[in-house]
Chain A
Amino acid sequence: MTFKLGFRELSSVVAAIGALGTWGHAVAAEGEAAWQPQGPVEIVVPTGAGGENDRVARFIQRIFEQKKLVETPVLVVNKSGGGQVLSLVYFAKKSPDPHFLLYATGTVLSNQISGRTELGYHDLTPIAKLRCDNTALTVAPDSDMKTMQDLIGRLKGNIRSVSFGGVSRGGANNLVLAKALRSGGVDPSGLKMIIFKTNAQSMTGVMGKHVDAVASSVSAAFQNFKSGKLRILAVSAPKRLTGILADVPTMAEAGLDVSGVSNCRYIYATKGITAAQRAFWENAMAAVNNDEEWGADIAQRNQMQDFRRGKDLESDLKATYDATRAAMVDIGLAKAK
C-alpha cells in the first residue's frame, strides 16, 4: 500500500494528462455524464479510523481504484467528534465542490431532529443509499419470554419489569425498539433502558442476565445466537432473513410496525453540485453496488443491500426522516420545532 500511495501522486499527474484520451472517451460514449473528478477526491468518514464506517469507506476507496471508477487519487479522511456533527460541519463548508463525498449513517437525520445541529440532509446532495443493518431483539436462551407478545404482555403489566440494554439512546436500534413497542400498545418513554458504552457490554449484559433484553444489530447478536447462547425474539427486516435466521419471525409477523426507522448507510455529495457531477457519482456508486466483493461483504455481516438513487432515494430519505422524527418525539429526544 505504502508504495502504491507514493506512486499515486505521480499517477495522478499522468492521469490528469491522459484523462482526456482514454477515460474521457469512455464517458463521452455514455452520453450525458461529461464530468469527472479534476483532482483528489476525499471520502469523509464521520467516525474515527478503525471503526466499521471507516472500514467500509476504505472498501469503497479500493473499489474506486481497482475498477478505475475514479482516476484521480481517492483519500479517506476521518473527521470524527461531536457525535458525527463535526464531519457535517466540515462537509457543508466544502459546498459546492464535487470532489467530496460523505459516507454517512442515519445519524445525519437524528442529529438534526435532536437539535444537536441545524444541518441536515437538505444541506447535502444525496447520491446513494447503500446497505442496511437489521435490528434484532435478543434475550437469554432460558428466558421465559419466547415471543414479542410475551414481552409486550409483561411490559403492559409493569413497564419496569423488563430491562433493556443498548448502546446509544436515540440510535437506530433504540428507535426500532421504541417504534415496535409503541405499535404494540406500550408507551416507550418509561422503559428501563440501560445504555452501555460498547456493544460487547450490552451483549454480555444479556448473556450474564444483568439485563433482560437487548436491541442490537443482527450482526452483533448472530454468532452467539448460532451457538445457542442467545435467543432472538424478532428481527426488524421487512421479510424473513436466510440461513439459520430463517426461523426467526419478523416484527411485522408479530403484528408490530417498524417501517421507516432503519439503520442504513448513505453516500452524500456537497450541496449545489451540477447534474452532470451528480450523475457521475451516482454511476460510480452503482458500480460499487454491483461489485462482487461488496455484495459478499454485506452478506457476511447479515446486512441487506438496498441501493437507491435519484427520486427514489429522495422519497425514501423523506419517509425515513419522518419515521425517525416520530419515534424520537415519542421517547422525548426530539427538539421542539
Chain B
Amino acid sequence: METLAHIVNGFSICLQPINLWYTLVGCFLGTLVGVLPGIGPAAGIALLVPVTYGMNPASALIMLAGIYYGAKYGGSTTSILIRTPGETASVMTCIDGYAMAQNGRAGAALAVSAIGSFIAGSIGVVGLTLFALPLAEMAIEFGPAEYFMLMLFAMTSVASLTGKSLAKGMFSMVLGLMLATVGIDLQSAMPRYTMDIVEFQEGISFVVVVVGMFAVSEVFQGLEMLLRGTAPAVIRISGKLWLTREEWRRSIGPIWRGGIIGFIIGVLPGAGGTIASILSYTTERGLSKHPEQFGRGAIEGVAGPESANNADTAGALVPLLTLGLPGGAVTAVLLGAFIMYGIQPGPLLFKEHPDIVWGLIDSMYFGNAMLLILNLPLIGLFVRLLYIPRGILYPLIVAISAVGIYSINGNIVDLYLMILFGVVGYLFNKADIPIAPLVLGLVLGDLIEQSFRQAMNLSDGSLGIFVGSRITVVLLVLTVIAVLWPLIAPRIKALKTLPATGPED
C-alpha cells in the first residue's frame, strides 16, 4: 500500500511541467544520439551530465534516462535505411529491416519499430514498477554457469541464420568466434593473436566489424552495381508508409514476446540489449510459419528484436536501482550521475528517495509515449533519404560510418579495420556466405568462452556445475528443444493436421 502511494506520488512529480519538458528534451536528444551511428547512449549521457549540474536531481535523472531509452528508438532508423546500426543493439534490425526497405517497405519497418518500441518499452516500465525487487533476486542467481547456458541457448539461433548452406553458415560463425578471441584474455591476462599491435589488445570492436560488414560492404556492392547499370536508380516505396493489416497482425505477437524477453534479459547484468534482440529474433523464427522469409524482409524479424532492445532498457534499471549495480556501460554512467546528486542507488534507494525513484520510473511511461509521437512523423522524413540518388547516398554512408566509428575511440586503426571488414563482407556476399553468423559469433564468443572457464574454475573442472541449479537445467532443456526444433516442428504440424485429414481417409 505504501508502495502504491509512492507510485502515485511519483506521477505527481513527473507530471510537473518542468519535468515533462526535461523528459521531452531527453527523448529528443536520445533519438538524435541513436540515429547517429557510433556515438551511443553511454557517450551521449556522459557528454550531457555536465549540463545538468545545478539542476534539480529528479529533473536531471529524468532527462538522462530519456536519452537512454530514446537512443533505442533512434538506433533502428539507420539500420533499416542504410544498413548501418545506429546503436549496437540494433544490429539484428540490419538483417530484415534493411531487406524490408529494399522491398519498398521502409515505412512499415520504421513504423513497426516505433510502435513495437513503444509497446515493449511500456511493458518494460510496467515490469520495472511491479517486479523490480523480486527480479533483483533473480539477477543474483545468475552466476558463470547460468550465463554460459544462456549464451549456449543464444548460439542455437545461428542455425536460423545460416541460409542455404549449413557449412557456409558454420564457417562464418567460427570466423566470428575466432575474431572474439583476439585481445588480452580476461582470465589469464595473456595477449592472444594481437601480433604486437597495440590497438588489438582490447580486442576487435564489435561496432567496427558490424559497420564494415553490413554498411561498407553494401556500399561497395551497390557502387559496383551502379557502374554496371544493374542497380535500380531509386528504391521504389510500395504501398503506404504505414503498416498493412496483414503486417500488423504478424507483428503483434513478436512485439509482446520481444517485450518480455527484452525485459528479463535486461535485468541480468552483462547480457544486454544485443543479446536480448538476438534471442527475440531466434524465438520469432522458431515460432514462424514461414521461417524461410527471415533474412529477406520478414516483419517479425524487425518487430521482435526492436521491441526486445527497448524493453531491455527498463530491465537494465532493475539491478541499477535495487542493487546499485550497473550491468553495462550506459547504466554505469547513470550510476555516476546518481552519485553526483548524492543519491546512492541500491537496496535503500526506494526507502531513502522514493520521490526521485518513482518520479523517474513514472516519467518513462510518458517518455515512451512522447517518443512514439516524436518518431512517427519522422518516418515520412527519413524515408525520403532513400530518394537521394545512390551515387550520392552511398558515399555519404561511408562518411557517416567513418565519423561514427572515429567518435567512439578516436582511433584511426578502427577506420582501416572498417574498410577491411567492408572488403571481407563484399567477398562474403559474392561467395554466398551469410554475414549474420559471424556477427553473432563475435558478440557471443567472448561471453561463452569466459563464462565456461569461470564456471570450470569454480567447480575445479567438473561439468556438474552446468546442471547444478534450476536455472541451468531450464536453459539446458530450452537449448535441447531449440536444437531439435527443426526435427520436432514438422511432426507437431503433422499431428495437428491429422484429425482434419483423418475422416476423409
Contact = CB atoms under 8 A, between A and B. Distances in A.
Contact of B411 (A49, A86, A196, A227): A86
- Range of interface residues on chain A? 35 or more
A140 to B, nearest CB: 10
3 closest cross-chain pairs (CB), A and B: A210-B143, A223-B346, A50-B46
Contacts of B347: 223-224, 227, 229
Interface string A52-65: 10110011001000
B47 interface: yes
A300 B342 CA distance: 7
A50 B348 contact: no
A207 B347 CA distance: 13
Interface stretch (B102-110, B281-289, B332-340): B332-340
6 contacts: A50-B332, A62-B50, A78-B410, A80-B409, A193-B457, A194-B458
A85 interface: yes
B252 interface: no
A50 B201 contact: no
Nearest to B319: A200
Contact of B50 (A58, A85, A192, A194): A58
Secondary structure class of chain A's binding surface, majority of residues: mixed
A199 B42 CA distance: 17
Contacts of A223: 323-324, 344-348
Interface in B37-51: 42-43, 45-51
Interface residues of B, number: 59
Contacts of A274: none
B204 to A, nearest CB: 11
A192 B457 contact: yes
Nearest to B339: A300
B133 to A, nearest CB: 12
Secondary structure class of chain B's binding surface, majority of residues: helix
Contact of A77 (B191, B324, B326, B410): B410
Contacts of A81: 198-199, 201-202, 409, 411
Given A55-B46, A114-B189, A203-B325, A83 B184 contact: yes
A268 B187 CA distance: 31
Given A82-B201, A169-B188, A333-B189, A49 B43 contact: yes
Interface in B306-354: 319, 323-330, 332-333, 336, 339-340, 342, 344-348
B408 interface: yes
Given A86-B411, A208-B143, A223-B346, A197 B458 contact: no
Interface of B: 42-43, 45-51, 53, 139-145, 184, 186-189, 191, 198-202, 269-270, 319, 323-330, 332-333, 336, 339-340, 342, 344-348, 408-411, 450, 454, 457-458, 460
A194 B408 contact: no
Contacts of A297: 340
B140 A224 contact: no
Interface in A173-209: 192-201, 203-205, 207-208
A237 to B, nearest CB: 19
A197 B326 contact: no
Contacts of A50: 42-43, 45-46, 329-330, 332-333
B43 A198 contact: no
A318 interface: no
A86 B342 contact: no
B450 to A, nearest CB: 7
Contacts of B50: 1, 58-59, 62
Contacts of A200: 269-270, 319, 323, 325-327
A132 interface: no
Interface in A38-78: 48-52, 54-55, 58-59, 62, 77-78
A210 B144 contact: yes
